[in-house]
Amino acid sequence: MSRLESLISAMTLPEKLGQLTMTTGGYAVTGPARVEDPSGAIIAGTIGNLLNVVGTDDVFKMQRLAVEESRLRVPLLIGFDVIHGHRTLFPVPLAETALFDAATWALSAREAAIEASADGVAMTFAPMLDVSRDPRWGRSVEGPGEDPWLAARFAEAKVRGFQGADLAARDALAAVAKHFCAYGPVTAGRDYASVDISERTVHEVHLPAFAAAVAAGVAAVMPAFNDLAGVPMTANAALLRNWLRGHLRFDGVIVSDYNAIGELIHHGVAADLTEAAALALNAGVDIDMMANAYRQGLPSAVDRGLVSVAQIDASVRRVLLLKERLGLFEDPYRRGATSQAAATLAQRRALARAIGGRAIVMLKNGSSVLPLADSIRRLCVMGPLADAPAEMGGPWPGAADADAHVSVLAGLAASLPGVEVLHARGVAIDGESMADVGAAVELCAHADAVVLCLGEAAAMSGEAASRTELGLPGKQRAFAEAVLDRARALAKPVIALLFSGRPLIVPWLVEKADAVLACWFLGSEAGNAIADVVTGRISPSGRTPVTWARTAGQIPLFFGQRPSGRPADPKDRFTSKYLDAPNEPLFPFGHGLTYGNFTLSNLRVAPQQVRESESIEVRVDVTNDGARAAEETVFLFTHDTLASISRELLELKGFGKIALEPRQKGTVTLILPATELRFLGIDLASVFEPGEVEILVGPCADRLQLLKSRVHLLI
């Protein structure tokens, strides 16, 4: 008999349920449940997993209780929210997606895993793979944006990065793909609310990233809080047991979200914890996080015949197998046994700076005001986000020291030693006072240029951070307009830096400011990364992974929409358009400017006729006509013009990058396997249909900027 089977046969029912229970160790509170000391239950064997314990002292203390004082000596599985870094923070996921660079996505996850595992952590509750097309939903900040193909590539990279080549390695973390599934389109963008979308949308938009994560070997999956068409995901056997475990053959651990099993009672599908626990276990959920539903409810569920001991054993087996794969039985102290050298930490900060600079999206650069001219001798850095190091970390700051983050003010001052940097806050992020606005505005007269730092506080994005108004909070707009008006009167350029975990509705700012940068929340090295771009040390290269609306009334707004039978026609009232605003976004998906000036030409697609087993080679020439070296991102879209199902006007199928010196020309080559042109037919089964498909290549999801060709699919 194997070690795991011997353990299972030796366990009492309470000990088995302990292996299916995860509770907090108290380092961070990430949900509404009470925090209690788990020590006694660990010794009793009735808690087998912990979250929110960080640092080798505390981790080893808890682990010793399990492996030295409990009856069966089963090691603990310890997880933590390592979302975009641990002690060193990288850009938030939505910002990092703007790199359109899978290798870098994997690299930052690898570095985060190394750092977190050195703190004793063995599992991260990431990556978050929710496709989000409604920026009112605060958790948009944690995910890869609006496109399912892009989300799948993000999933693969993050799983590889977190888990490494060997899950038993001392620097590997078990990744948890979340939130399965369709959490992004919650009603009205309100967190935890119901979701009711078509089955086609579930399968086309919200499941592909999870399929990619499973194919990449993800260790665990977390169901979402929401219900889907009336069935809470924590109890959704059709998707968890049938699709995830059955169709995808996922044999890893399914761990509930924080208190989600207990919340089945609030959903109205369970009368008590016994019924809630039975529903979750029957759906395939192995670990109950923070509800105590399995420990308290499953014994009576067994007595009532709602679940079987064999089902419990199957879940225990999966949990123990994960602990074995992590090497915890061989050495429960392997994570945390190696300290991080100062040089390693410095290199990690340097990497965070480099990635942060590449994540910045230059939305506008009127009159090429950026990079800052060498003639500038006085720079005014103002606004509520100018000297706000803690806000730079964004939501889910892990175990980072907020005081160690670099503010915009500090970054610019360090990068411009010969420039006098003036500073004024002006207004609070979300306050009503305008008392300091006048003095701040007057600083414009004493500066050669103004950097205006505006946006959300970190806590305004993330979980439980839905917003109905997506403009600047508080009195920031009034302050910004006063600065812009004064600067215009003085002929002083204004560079606006926007901090947020979502696209903000700021068309007035884009119109009035000379330059606008989407700075998201860039992490520990935010200020230095911003300074690198503003001063021209690097050229901005980020591209927005979400469509930016010009008005909240356009939401949800995304590029992958299906054609209308009455496409917009300004000459015909009875077509698909608004009376009071254009259909077009403020910025399309993929928008982002550089310090170069790129043109695309000579699109070549071969072969012109292709079978499913073949691939399509797409080549396009790229020329940098600008005066500075820069990197261009080239997107590959397709459109099936005639099919059994109305197809999206644009479908993302690839992207490539090319770095060019001034007046240099190069070629980007993209390979498109014809299997990528399969789609879900009328019965939601995957089909490959003959006919013409448009191939579109360009800098963003604006059809007017895309070069076009066609291929003919053959059966």
Q: What is d(CA 137, CA 440) in angstroms, rounded to the nearest whole number?
A: 33
User: What confidence score (pLDDT) does residue 123 get?
Assistant: 98
User: What confidence score (pLDDT) does residue 509 get?
Assistant: 98
8 Å CB contact between 289 and 314: no
Structure tokens at 82: 């390592």
The three-point CA angle 594-664-375 to 5° equals 50
Mean pLDDT confidence for 401-405: 94
Q: What is d(CA 370, CA 517) in angstroms, rounded to the nearest whole number?
A: 10
Mean pLDDT confidence for 286-311: 98
- With CA atoms as reference, report the closest residue to 23 among 256, 221, 235: 256
Mean pLDDT confidence for 483-512: 98
pLDDT band at 30 (very low <50, low <70, confident <90, very high): low
Q: Which helix (H) or strand (E) holds 280?
A: helix 273-283
Domain ranges of the chain: 361-541, 598-714
Structure tokens at 493: 């350029």
- Please tell me what DSSP assigns to residue 238: I
pLDDT > 90: what percent of the chain? 97
Q: What are 584-627's pLDDT values in tens digits?
A: 999 999 999 999 999 999 999 999 999 999 999 999 999 999 99
Which residue in the block uniquely carries the two structure tokens 């990279």?
157
Of 149-158, 182-191, 333-342, 620-629, the one with minimum mean pLDDT is 333-342
Give phi and psi for 382, each to the nearest 5: -135, 170
Query: Quick check: 233 pLDDT over 70?
Result: yes
Mean pLDDT confidence for 379-402: 96
Which residues are part of the catalytic machinery?
A: 257
Give phi and psi for 656, each to the nearest 5: -145, 165
Cis ω for the linkage preceding 127 (within 30 of 0): yes
pLDDT > 70: what percent of the chain? 98
Which residue in the block uniquely carries the two structure tokens 């390693």?
344
Q: What are 552-563's pLDDT values in tens digits?
A: 999 999 999 999
User: What confidence score (pLDDT) does residue 425 get?
Assistant: 97
How many residues does this entry show for the chain? 715
Cα maximum dimension of the chain = 83
Q: What is d(CA 539, CA 450) in angstroms, rounded to the nearest whole number?
A: 20
User: What confidence score (pLDDT) does residue 31 get?
Assistant: 61
Q: Exposure of 191 by Cβ count < 10 A (0-12 exposed, 13-18 middle, 19+ buried)?
A: middle
Instruction: Round to the nearest angstrom and report the end-to-end CA distance of the chain.
Output: 52
User: What confidence score (pLDDT) does residue 35 get?
Assistant: 62
Structure tokens at 353: 């700076």
Q: At what angle do helices 309-325 and 3-10 cross, to 10 degrees?
A: 140
pLDDT band at 454 (very low <50, low <70, confident <90, very high): very high
Structure tokens at 358: 């590449």
User: What confidence score (pLDDT) does residue 33 get?
Assistant: 56
Cis ω for the linkage preceding 556 (within 30 of 0): yes
Q: Exposure of 171 by Cβ count < 10 A (0-12 exposed, 13-18 middle, 19+ buried)?
A: middle
Q: What is d(CA 116, CA 79) in angstroms, rounded to the nearest whole number?
A: 10
Structure tokens at 626: 């600008």
Mean pLDDT confidence for 268-285: 98
CATH of domain 361-541: 3.40.50.1700
Mean pLDDT confidence for 272-282: 98
Query: Quick check: 251 pLDDT over 80?
Result: yes
Considering the chain, what is the average pLDDT of its residues?
96
Q: What are 117-133's pLDDT values in tens digits?
A: 999 999 999 999 999 99
- Quick one: three-class SS letters along 90-135? CCCHHHHHCCCCHHHHHHHHHHHHHHHHCCCCCEECCCECCCCCCC
Q: What is d(CA 307, CA 299) in angstroms, rounded to the nearest whole number?
A: 9
Would you say the pTM of this structure is higher than 0.75?
yes
User: What confidence score (pLDDT) does residue 27 get?
Assistant: 61
User: What confidence score (pLDDT) does residue 242 get?
Assistant: 98
User: What confidence score (pLDDT) does residue 710 get?
Assistant: 97
pLDDT band at 34 (very low <50, low <70, confident <90, very high): low
Query: Quick check: 469 pLDDT over 70?
Result: yes
The three-point CA angle 400-406-407 to 5° equals 120
Give phi and psi for 174, each to the nearest 5: -75, 120
pLDDT band at 28 (very low <50, low <70, confident <90, very high): low
CATH of domain 598-714: 2.60.40.10
pLDDT band at 246 (very low <50, low <70, confident <90, very high): very high
- With CA atoms as reference, report the closest residue to 592 among 654, 660, 506, 517: 517
Mean pLDDT confidence for 282-298: 98
pLDDT band at 337 (very low <50, low <70, confident <90, very high): confident
Q: Is 598-714 in the same CATH topology as 361-541?
A: no
- β-pairing, 515-518 vs 686-687, is unpaired
Residues contacting residue 523 through CB under 8 Å, at least 6 positions apart: 84, 85, 88, 89, 90, 91, 92, 352, 356, 392, 393, 394, 405
